Amino acid sequence: MFLLPKGNPLYENIAATKVKLPELLDKLKGSSFTGYLKFTFPSALAVLFFEAGKLISAMLEQEGKKSSGFEAIAGLCNLIFGGGGSLSVYKLSKDLTMCLHAMIHGDVLYQGQELKLIDIKGLLERLKAQRLNGCLRIYTDDRAALIFYKEGAPLGFFHDGSTDIETSASESQKIAGLPGAKIDVLSTKSADELMHYDLLEMVNIGKLWESTAGRFATERDQIRREAEAVDRKQSDEQLKELEDDLKEVAVAYLGRMGASLVDKELGDRGGRAILRDASQVAEFLAGMERGSKMLTSISKTKEMLETMKNEIAERTKG
Amino acid sequence: MADISTVDLIQIIFWFLAGCISFYFSIGNARVWTSISMGFFLIFLSQLYVVEKALDAPWTAYTQLEAIHYIIGTISIMVMTHGFQEYYIFSRTLELGGSKQAVYLTILGLLAASAGFVFINPEPQYTMLRNIRMIENTTWVFLSLVNLDMVRKIYLQIRDSVIARGFIAFGVVFVAIFLWKGSELYLQVYNWDTDWKLIMLNLGATVPDQFMGRRDFSVLVHDVAGLLSGFSVGGTFIYLVRLLR
């Protein structure tokens, strides 16, 4: 992924799940914010550019796939509700915002041109003559530098490892001098022209947010219901195992009538589910005691009840 | 003081022991056992009249008391049969109901009602007493067979439980009781019993000495089975106490 100059950070690394996107965008619109919002997710990155309170572009890169505009905003809403992301907001100058916009959304004039094969001086003069708004990306396999231009004049330099725009061209020159260095040239419209676009006007973000929230709520409900069903099933299976074990204990002490006695005493009280209720368990054990006295000695009855009590307590705790 | 035979004496000692053990057993156990053990305890009360007569107790002059003793004997087998019925129901349905107090009160009520019945009617003569005794023996014989079948069914139902062997012992008890009461009934039905002989003597007649072999054999069976009954009841309850404590 690409690095962007941080400019003046307003917020950094806020949990994205805490963000209510429509409210945040409204707030930025109201304050005529210029800069960008960067949402970072484990497998995605979204950048929203603002210029004077207008959302001039939105870009989402997810698992190597890029999207923009409505699609990017919709994807961003999904990612926010999905959880796990963070948000940073950086204030930038109008010109730099334009240049960053060029870098991400700009028209590609040259791509992957080897520097040693082109006349760099001539290129720069052409850019100056064409009054280019945009950026030059100079890179090798492991290093990159950006040079931002406004109306053909360089605004500043940005490279890997720096956090902000620099005025020195030394790093960019170093990279340009490396063997195999390449160059991309990207252009965009002027800042004033970009301001004719406002995604906030074009996309009903509030509605998009609500529908995403509704969909996620439904999905969450569905997941919760499924989880509950699984829990119930697991719980029922555990109780079934417990009931079987209680029957085994009863058979060991009372013979085969022991199993029938467990069945009856549980059945009279509403089934094996009562094994989770302490008072019902006490009644169940009292019933077992009454029946057991008819079939075996008091000492064995006590021993059996103690075993059952421990088994129930052990298997139903928590 | 009237005579008491050695057999009667030994028998009454056994019944006394059996009565005490069964009554003690009824105290600490489930309600169903109360009916069964109280039934056996009532046999002792019923048999007590033999001792009272032997000791020439003043109240033995009242034939009503003799009648009441026979009635107690009848009630005793009915009460224990009810107990075995309850146990059988438990072995099939695992349902237990009622209370010990209800058992005690019902028995007291039956005894009181029987005494009332005897006292509001004319004083029983020897022939009537013999009739009452025959009814007692008939009831015993019939219900012994019923109980034998019930004990068999209960055993089959609970045969792998600790108490199961106790029911084999009850089977032995009812076989002994069947022989004890059955042999006496046999003698009564054919007018070979001592009471009939006395009644005939009072009337100036005699009972012909026919079929003495089977009559003597029946008396022997009666005496031996009577001893065995008391002994087996006492033994059974001692065994049950050991099993269930």
pLDDT of residue B141: 97
d(CA B32, CA A55): 88
Determine whether the interchain pair B161/A296 forms a contact, defined as Cβ–Cβ distance below 8 Å: yes
Contact A67, A75 (CB under 8 A): yes
Closest Cα in chain A to B162? A296
Q: A256 to chain B: which residues are within 8 Å by CB?
A: 160
| Interface membership of B89 toward A (CB under 8 Å) | no
| Residue tagged 């003495």 (tokens) | B212
Q: Which of B32, B161, B244 lies nearest to residue A257, judging by beta carbons? A: B161
pLDDT of residue B59: 81
Largest CA-CA distance found in chain B, in angstroms, rounded: 61
Determine whether the interchain pair A294/B160 forms a contact, defined as Cβ–Cβ distance below 8 Å: no
Q: Which residues contact B226 (CB under 8 A, 6 or more apart)?
A: B7, B11, B180
| Interface membership of A248 toward B (CB under 8 Å) | no
Determine whether the interchain pair A294/B90 forms a contact, defined as Cβ–Cβ distance below 8 Å: yes
Contact A60, A68 (CB under 8 A): yes
Contact B245, B162 (CB under 8 A): no
Distances from the Cα of A195 to the Cα of A90, A101, A301, B41, angstroms? 18, 12, 87, 110
| Interface membership of B159 toward A (CB under 8 Å) | yes
Q: What is the pLDDT of residues B78-101, one digit of tens each?
A: 998 999 999 999 999 988 877 888
Contact A70, A153 (CB under 8 A): no
Lowest mean pLDDT among A76-90, A216-230, B9-23, B115-129: B9-23
pLDDT of residue B1: 47
| Interface membership of B158 toward A (CB under 8 Å) | yes
Determine whether the interchain pair A264/B94 forms a contact, defined as Cβ–Cβ distance below 8 Å: yes
| Interface membership of B163 toward A (CB under 8 Å) | yes
pLDDT of residue A297: 87
Distance from CA of B30 to the nearest CA of A (A): 7
For chain A, give every domain's residue range: 1-106, 107-187, 230-316
State how beta strands A35-41 and A86-91 pair.
antiparallel
Strands in A8-15's sheet, in edge-to-edge order, are: A8-15, A86-91, A35-41, A44-51, A54-62, A65-68
Largest CA-CA distance found in chain A, in angstroms, rounded: 109
Predicted structure pTM score: 0.64
pLDDT of residue B130: 94
Q: What angle do CA B168, B172, B173 make, to 5 degrees?
A: 115
List of E strands, chain A: 8-15, 35-41, 44-51, 54-62, 65-68, 86-91, 107-114, 134-139, 144-150, 153-159, 182-187
Give me the half-sphere count of Cα atoms (radius 13 Å) on the Cβ side of residue B170: 30
| Interface membership of A255 toward B (CB under 8 Å) | yes
Determine whether the interchain pair B30/A293 forms a contact, defined as Cβ–Cβ distance below 8 Å: yes
Distance from CA of A290 to the nearest CA of B (A): 7
| Interface membership of A59 toward B (CB under 8 Å) | no
Q: Tell me which residue of B68, B79, B24, B64 sits closest to B45, measured CA to CA.
A: B68
Determine whether the interchain pair A300/B162 forms a contact, defined as Cβ–Cβ distance below 8 Å: yes
Determine whether the interchain pair A256/B163 forms a contact, defined as Cβ–Cβ distance below 8 Å: no
Q: Which of A256, A290, A297 lies nearest to residue B244, judging by beta carbons? A: A297
Tell which wins on pLDDT, B150 or A149.
B150
Closest Cα in chain A to B163? A295
pLDDT of residue A144: 79
What does the pLDDT profile of chain A (318 residues) look like in tens digits? Answer: 556 777 788 888 899 888 899 999 999 999 999 988 999 998 899 999 888 888 888 889 888 888 888 888 999 999 998 888 999 998 888 777 777 777 777 777 888 888 888 887 788 888 888 888 888 888 887 777 888 888 888 878 887 666 667 777 777 788 888 888 888 888 777 666 666 677 888 888 889 899 999 998 998 899 999 999 998 888 889 999 999 999 999 999 999 999 999 999 999 999 998 998 899 999 999 999 989 988 888 889 999 999 999 999 988 876
pLDDT of residue A175: 82
Model confidence band, residue B136 (pLDDT cutoffs 50, 70, 90): very high
Which of A260, A266, A295, A298 would best serve as a mutation to test chain B binding (most B beta carbons within 10 A)? A295
Closest Cα in chain A to B157? A257
Q: Which of A257, A261, A298 lies nearest to residue B244, judging by beta carbons? A: A298
